Amino acid sequence: MAQDFVLAIDAMGGEMAPHAPISGAALAGERHSALKFLFVGDQGVIEKERKKHPSLRGNSEILHAPDQVPEDARPSVALRRGRETSMFRTIELVAEGHSSAAISGGNTGALMAMARRGLKAMEGVHRPAIAGLIPSAKDPVVLLDLGATLQCTATNLVEFAVMGTAFAEIVRNKPEPSCALLNIGEEDIKGHEEIREAARILYETELPGPFLGFVEAHDIISGKVDVVVTDGFTGNIALKTAEGTAQLFRDQLNTTARHGARARAGALLLKPALRSLFRRFDARLHNGAVFLGLDGIAIKSHGRMDDRGFANALLVADEMVGHDFLQHVRDAVSRVKGATGATGGEMT
Amino acid sequence: MAQDFVLAIDAMGGEMAPHAPISGAALAGERHSALKFLFVGDQGVIEKERKKHPSLRGNSEILHAPDQVPEDARPSVALRRGRETSMFRTIELVAEGHSSAAISGGNTGALMAMARRGLKAMEGVHRPAIAGLIPSAKDPVVLLDLGATLQCTATNLVEFAVMGTAFAEIVRNKPEPSCALLNIGEEDIKGHEEIREAARILYETELPGPFLGFVEAHDIISGKVDVVVTDGFTGNIALKTAEGTAQLFRDQLNTTARHGARARAGALLLKPALRSLFRRFDARLHNGAVFLGLDGIAIKSHGRMDDRGFANALLVADEMVGHDFLQHVRDAVSRVKGATGATGGEMT
């Protein structure tokens, strides 16, 4: 196997495992024939599922791992007792250079703990972040952090901006991505002190695109900016609020469309046009949250994702590996490092 | 004028002033004939607008105030220099007992600063909160804080829970309202230390309904709980993310519905059914964010609200006054005060 395109896949992580990871790999392999996969988990279970996909015979291997991380495990416990788990082994494959990226649909906290332990911090980055895509009126917006670092210093936020814009530029193929800090008002006088300090630094920092200062939460959705930076608590709340609202709208629309013959006829006529609307909010197309600030590529697939969603997470990994994303981030971080000061804590 | 039902209205606050406040009062007066209004602002401007509404001749008076608070004013500056503003005078009418509630569509920060100065803190409450309604799959959910207290101690969050559930029970007429803390996971191990400490206290606190522990942001929208408590930064982000997502869905649906003859015909047939869907997300019906933790009633109408929205804020005020909401909150706070400990800072 050529090392460059081997993706290590935790075949046991997520509600639809092992189907979603393995069938997802088959789908991703159809799209990019150069991809190779290393499935990690219970050998018998994986072999049984893999048989359903003849295309995987030539481009995948299996690494047996007897245990798996429970969905409700505390990260610290998973880390201490999890050395025989499929998740730990998946990360280890990247840490030891056998694979180019690790993808798992399992417990996010455990995956981040293992990734930090196994892959180590990237030089110059104090804390990791999780970046994901959120639907907007224009292109999907890169939002970070989604839950890795709940309370952030100004330095953390600045580093997230550097890494998030690199992701938008290199992986999302967005030239000169604009970037802003999430705040509760656009004026410079609002919000926490850390956010205002981060804004002051970012106005002086060389980023691949313009820094727009503060945006409010409705501006994420309007697509006013390409990359939105916030702490992990707030980012998680914003993402899940948007998902919940989109879900409510979709459910209500479905209910509405069944309300009487007239509505049913209307819904039938509207259906083709509505497909693109629903597509914009299809979580599968935005699947694959990337861990930033580590010296290796790890990607979290949503726990409830099906095979099509999992395939998207694999294609994100492929983009990151193919464009040598890590080196781009290392370069970007070292370029701006002088400006970030020394207010951030070390990664622990 | 009977003191009980005089609502002091900042006639100059908000983008559609003086039309929205004055026409809104006329609409509210049609609904509740016992309401009386005291319009505060430029006398000439108010008189001109009031003439358009003959019904206001018998149930309103005018208090002249020459200045107004700019929309972008810093709260501290507005407070220092704003004694002649319509907003300050509106609050003063409540502080001095001439009116039962103050309603303004102006600058939120300035209004909160003036309300805190004029109305003072309620005994036993360390910090104020702003509570509002957010659409959900079931009834609208009470969400607080929306921006008064950006960083919260456990004591602050507990007090918000006590006041928010009182609001749901007394003003929203929701018997035994359930309550939860917003967090990034349902497990007890997640989130900030303050939130976990608040949860520990709330499990032991007597509330009008059940305390459900932690909910995630998508659970706000699913209507899993009646009252959701969080800090002012996070609450503001959640509310605006939901508003932005609903707006995007609505815009996209409108665009979709114009896409070709087939879609137009479908949209026409669906229209009556869609009306109730849009109604659920109509911000006007949820207008009127209430300031909690002060010894007087102050309500913020959204700055971009029209007369129908402003009328709703007035009807919220009417409910609060009519049900003697303040006394209910005082009783609730004093009942649970022993349990909240002494970790919160004094209101400054």
Residue B182: closest C-alpha in chain A: A237
Cα A155 from Cα A168, distance rounded (Å): 20
ipTM, two decimals: 0.91
Q: Give A14-62 pLDDT, tens digit per residue.
A: 999 999 999 999 999 999 888 999 999 999 999 999 999 999 999 999 9
Considering CB atoms only, which of A216, A246, A277 is closest to B240? Answer: A216
Beta-carbon separation of A269 and B259 below 8 A: no
CB contact under 8 A, A252 and B135: no
Q: Which of A199-208, A252-261, B72-81, B167-176 has the lowest mean pLDDT?
A: A252-261
Whole-angstrom CA distances from B220 to A233, A275, B15, B31, B238 are 16, 27, 29, 30, 9
Percent of chain A with pLDDT over 70: 94
CB contacts < 8 A, A to B, total 186
**B132 interaction partners in chain A (CB closer than 8 Å):** none
From the list B172, B98, B80, B163, the residue with the least C-alpha distance to B127 is B163
Angle between helices B86-95 and B108-119 (to 10 degrees): 30
Stated as kind and residue range, the H or E segment containing A167 is helix A154-170
A256 and B274 within 8 Å at the Cβ level: the answer is yes
**Residue A1 pLDDT:** 36
Percent of chain A with pLDDT over 90: 78
What does the pLDDT read at residue B348? 44
- Note whether B343 and B158 are within 8 A (CB): no
CB-CB under 8 Å, B147 with A232:
no
C-alpha A233: how far from its chain's center? 15
Asked if B238 and A243 come within 8 Å (Cβ–Cβ), the reply is no
B114 contacts: CB under 8 Å, gap ≥ 6: B78, B79, B82, B87, B88, B91
The alpha carbon of residue B202 and the mean position of all alpha carbons in its chain are separated, in whole angstroms, by 23
Q: What does the block give as tokens for B54?
A: 């003959």
Decide: helix, strand or coil at residue A202: helix
Q: Taking each helix axis from N to C terminus, what angle separates B154-170 and B193-203, rounded to the nearest 10 degrees? A: 50
For helices A261-280 and A232-256, the axis angle rounded to 10 degrees is: 150
The reported pLDDT for the residue numbered A189 is 61
Residue B138: count other Cβ atoms within 10 Å of its Cβ. Answer: 11
Q: How far is CA A346 from CA A33, A56, A125, A338, in A?
A: 41, 42, 8, 16
Yes or no, beta carbons of A273 and B251 under 8 Å apart:
no
* Chain A residues whose beta carbon lies within 8 Å of the beta carbon of residue B216: 240
> Cis before residue B145, ω within 30 degrees of 0?
yes
Q: Which of B196, B149, B151, B199 is nearest to B179 (CA)?
A: B199
The per-residue pLDDT for B338 is 61
DSSP at A346: P
Q: Name the more confident of A142 and A247.
A: A142
**Per-residue pLDDT for B285 more than 70?**
yes
- HSE (side-chain half, CA atoms, 13 Å) at A20: 25
- Nearest residue in A to B268, CA atom: A266
Q: What is the pLDDT of residue B38?
A: 98
CA A40 vs. chain centroid, Å, equals 20
Q: What distance in Å separates residue A135's CA from the closest CA in chain B? A: 9
Query: Which chain A residues are within 8 Å of B219, Cβ to Cβ?
Result: 244
CA distance A303 to chain B (A): 14
Q: How far is A242 from chain B (nearest CA, A)?
A: 6
Nearest CB neighbour to A238, from listed B241, B273, B274: B241
Please tell me the distance from the alpha carbon of residue A293 to that of residue A329, in angstroms, as a whole number.
8
Q: Which of A83-87, A270-274, B287-291 has the lowest mean pLDDT?
A: A270-274
Mean pLDDT over all residues of chain B?
Answer: 91
pLDDT surpasses 50 at B343:
no
Report the alpha-carbon distance of residue B45 to residue B24 in Å, rounded.
Answer: 16
To test the contact with chain A by mutation, choose from B233, B278, B282 the residue with the greatest count of A C-beta atoms within 10 A, namely: B233
- Give how far the C-alpha of residue B145 lies from the chain's centroid of Cα atoms, to the nearest Å: 10
Q: Nearest residue of B to residue A185 by CA position?
A: B236
- All residues of chain A having their beta carbon less than 8 Å from the beta carbon of residue B247 are 218, 221-222
pLDDT at B222: 93
Q: Is A233–B192 a contact, with Cβ atoms under 8 angstroms apart?
A: yes
* Rounded Cα–Cα distance for residues B330 and B140 (Å): 25
Contact B191 A253 (CB under 8 A): no
Cβ atoms of B329 and B157 within 8 Å: the answer is no
Cβ-nearest to A248 among B221, B243, B265: B221
Return mean pLDDT, chain A.
91
Question: Half-sphere exposure (CA, 13 Å, Cβ side) for B207?
Answer: 32
Which of B238, B263, B277 is facing A273, going by the closest CB pair?
Answer: B263
Distance CA A64, CA B309 (A): 62
Q: What percent of chain B has pLDDT over 70?
A: 94
What token pair was written down for A292? 């930033």
Is A266–B265 a contact, with Cβ atoms under 8 angstroms apart?
A: yes
- Edge-to-edge strands of the sheet including A6-10? A60-64, A36-41, A6-10, A101-104, A297-300, A289-292, A129-134, A141-144, A227-229, A179-182, A211-215
B36-45 residue pLDDT tens: 999 999 999 9
Does residue B346 surpass a pLDDT of 50?
A: no
Q: How far apart (Å, rounded) are the C-alpha atoms in residues B241 and B295?
A: 31
Asked if residue B345 lies in contact with residue B153, where contact means CB atoms within 8 angstroms, the answer is yes
**B340 pLDDT higher than 60:** no
The CA distance from A342 to B346, in Å, is 32
Taking the CA of residue A253 and the nearest CA in chain B, the distance in Å comes to 7
Give A185's contacts in chain B (Cβ within 8 Å): 109
Average pLDDT over residues A71-100: 94
Q: What is the DSSP string of A217-276?
A: HHHHHHT--SEEE--HHHHHHHHHHHHHHHHHHHHHHHHHTTSSHHHHHHHHHHHHHHHH
Q: Which amino acid is at A246?
A: A
Is a pLDDT exceeding 80 seen at residue A126? yes
Rounded to whole angstroms, the Cα distance separating B207 from B162 reads 7
B contact test, residue of A241, A259, A280 with most B CBs within 10 A? A241
Nearest CA in chain A to B71: A187
Following DSSP, what letter does each residue of B173-194 receive, concatenated?
A: --SS--EEEE-SSSSTT-S-HH
Find the mean pLDDT for residues B303-312: 96
pLDDT at B266: 85
The per-residue pLDDT for B128 is 97
Nearest Cα to Cα of residue B1 among B41, B33, B35, B47? B35
Residue A3 confidence class, pLDDT cut points 50, 70, 90: very low
Residue in A with minimal Cα distance to B277: A252
A72 confidence band (pLDDT: 50, 70, 90): confident
DSSP H helices in A43-153:
43-50, 75-81, 86-95, 108-119
Does the pLDDT at position B341 exceed 60? no
Predicted confidence band of residue B187 (pLDDT cuts 50, 70, 90): low
Which among A220, A252, A259 has the least Cβ separation from residue B244? A220
The letter for the amino acid at B158 is V
Nearest Cα neighbor of B131 from B107, B154, B102, B162 is B162
Residue with tokens 């869905």: B249
Q: Is the pLDDT of residue A251 over 90?
A: no
Give the model's confidence band at B139: pLDDT under 50 very low, under 70 low, under 90 confident, else very high.
Answer: very high
Contacts of B190-194 with CB under 8 Å at 24 or more apart are B190/A109, B190/B214, B191/A150, B191/A233, B192/A150, B192/A151, B192/A233, B194/B152, B194/B153, B194/B154, B194/B157
> Do A234 and B233 lie within an 8 Å CB cutoff?
yes
- Nearest chain B residue to A246 by CA distance is B245
Is the pLDDT at B90 greater than 50, yes or no? yes
Separation between Cα atoms, residue A290 and residue A167, nearest integer Å: 9
Q: How far is A218 from chain B (nearest CA, A)?
A: 4
Please list, residue by residue across A79-93, b when 16 or more beta carbons sit within 10 angstroms of its beta carbon and e when fewer do. beebeebbbbbbbbb
Q: Which of B217, B252, B262 is opposite residue A240, by nearest beta carbon?
A: B217
Chain B: residue nearest A237 by CA?
Answer: B217
Q: Give A-chain residues touching B246 at CB under 8 angstroms.
A: 245, 249
Beta-carbon separation of A249 and B246 below 8 A: yes
CB contact under 8 A, B150 and A192: yes
Taking only the tens place, the pLDDT of each residue in A272-314 is 877 877 888 888 889 999 999 999 999 999 999 999 999 999 9
Residue B330, token pair as written in the block: 């005082």
Record the tokens describing residue B245, joined without a space.
């997502």
**B253:A277 CB<8 A:** yes
What is B122-159 written as a DSSP string?
PTT--S-EEEEEE--SSSPEEEE-SSS-SS--HHHHHH
* Cβ contact A150–B184 (<8 Å): yes
- Report how far residue A142's alpha carbon sits from residue A140's, in angstroms, rounded to the nearest whole number: 7
| pLDDT for A2 | 40
B191, pLDDT greater than 80: no
**What are the tens digits of pLDDT across the range B244-280?**
998 888 888 888 878 788 888 888 888 887 787 788 8
Say what the pLDDT of residue B194 is.
Answer: 93
Over B12-81, what HEC string results? Answer: CCCCCCCHHHHHHHHHHHHHCCCCEEEEEECHHHHHHHHCCCHHHHCCEEEEECCECCCCCCCHHHHHHH
User: What is the CB-side half-sphere exposure of residue A318 using CA atoms within 13 A?
Assistant: 16
